[in-house]
Amino acid sequence: MVYSSTIVATVAAGAACAIALVRRAAYKAKQNQADGHNQPNVSFHPASIIEGNRSGRMSHYGESSLRSLRSLNGSERTEGACLKRSESIGIKDHVMAGEFACDTDENQVANVLASAAAYPRQEYTQTELLEAFLKRYPLNASDEEFARRIFQRTEIERANIALDREDLYKKMSRDEYVEHLRTNVFELGFRAADQALNAWGGNRDDITHIVFGTMSVVMDTPTTDVHLMRRLGLSSFTKRVCVQQMGCLTGFRLLSLAASIAKESPAHRVLVVCADVRSGLGNQLEIPAGEPGVVDFPRSSIVACALFRDAGGACVVGTQPGLVDGEAESKCAILAHESYLIPDSGSMVKITEGDDATIHWHNDTGLPQAVADNAPMLMERLCATLERRTGLELDVHKVPWCVHTGGPKVLKMVEGSVGLDRAQLATSWEYLRTHGNTTGASNMTILHHFLTRTPGPAEPSSKQPGDLAVMLGIGPGLAMESLVIRLSRL
């Protein structure tokens, strides 16, 4: 009997998958024996690799492979199986390099397996930054009084900026600004990603995807994710996604995207990186003509100079922790996520680049109220999604929140609109004091801060396994990004 090359390739791929599972089962059995455990050794159920079959129906060869895996696993479970054609016939030790059949029903959970944060080495107090700002921009008496009041009311005590003292708020040429962003976005992203990968503990060849995001961009290719792949030593087969210009919700959008990617296959390990150098706004903001010797600085620009700072954050996301040799246990699980674009709000945040890298900035004073008006509705939808997917009911008034540190007014508006206690946002308030508004990178770094800090006695969670928490980011559009996480072992 003559088989086509397609069928032969399919059977070979299915056999390779089964062999990989046997090797993994033997490895786990050896580990469990050493640990005194007798749990089942195989934790996922690839059914088969079917040429051209995406309907969920198994071919003769798929059924044969599934029977072999059932006997290996001692399980008859087949529901939720997703059948995909392999992209590669290679094997990375115990998992196939390409996509293969996997369980992707709504209850499969993406986990944050490691997280990290990185900041510029230059640190300044808020008072030092205020004096540098006023030295660079001589304001009229009224605006100077406003600046002194705003810098203090941010509640920022200290923060990190990727500039030496003599360069704070100094106008850069176009070439200088491009090099400033290129160098520092990469450096912060690399340091955060390198730390996250080290904390994860797996082989870097097992990273299947890198998802990178930033708001700090210019026309410059190859993009930062390419440079990160090479410097971090990732496989050349790693799939890339580069997300730009989504502002202060970027990190949480990347996490949501990574969770969806991770759920496609137990083999997927997604490196998520977000880095921003937004302090440069203070160097490049447009200055309208005013009285001789006096800078007529728009007050929204003064607020930007008082708030924006620099950071990079990273994490590794995947399902079924322990599948990759050496990887760390889950830190938290991403149970649900929702996005929302607020209608008729497109003009509330507008940032454009003009001549000589001058930044035109507009931040509407109604932004905090727009967030407050729409946050309760988004939370209702997020809670409904969580219950539909997991059966869990979320009381948003009894869990901690990690909200993007857009400033005290934004945090207070979220508290007031949803009816939250300030202690529920303790992580965000603490982060604001020590790091300021680090835009999209703040999402990742606040999550890392939440996972690693010790909660105070008045906070709603003592961070026990199983505790839930809400994440909320806000960005241009006007848009919001929300997630629910469940704590694992910390």
**CA-to-CA dists, residue 362 to 90, 320, 359, 403, 480, angstroms:** 52, 44, 10, 22, 18
Instruction: Please report, for the chain, the start and end positions of each structural domain, with discontinuous segments joined by +.
Output: 5-105, 117-487
Confidence (pLDDT) at 50: 26
CA 404, 220, 197, 96 torsion: positive or negative? positive
Specify the pLDDT at position 89: 30
For 117-487, CATH number out of 3.40.50.1820, 3.40.47.10, 3.40.190.10, 3.30.460.20 equals: 3.40.47.10
**pLDDT given at position 128:** 97
The Cα 22–Cα 14 span in angstroms is 12
Q: Which residue type does 285 have?
A: L
Is 335 in contact with 109 (CB distance < 8 Å)? Answer: yes
Consecutive H or E run containing 339: strand 332-341
pTM, full prediction: 0.77
pLDDT at 348: 79
pLDDT at 309: 95
Q: Mean pLDDT by 10-residue block, N- to C-terminus, for the chain (490 residues)? A: 40 44 44 39 29 31 31 32 31 36 52 97 97 90 94 96 94 90 95 98 96 87 94 97 89 94 95 92 74 69 91 96 90 95 84 78 81 90 94 93 92 92 95 94 94 88 88 90 88
**Under 8 Å between Cβ of 168 and 282:** yes
The values of phi and psi at residue 396, to 5°, are -65, -15
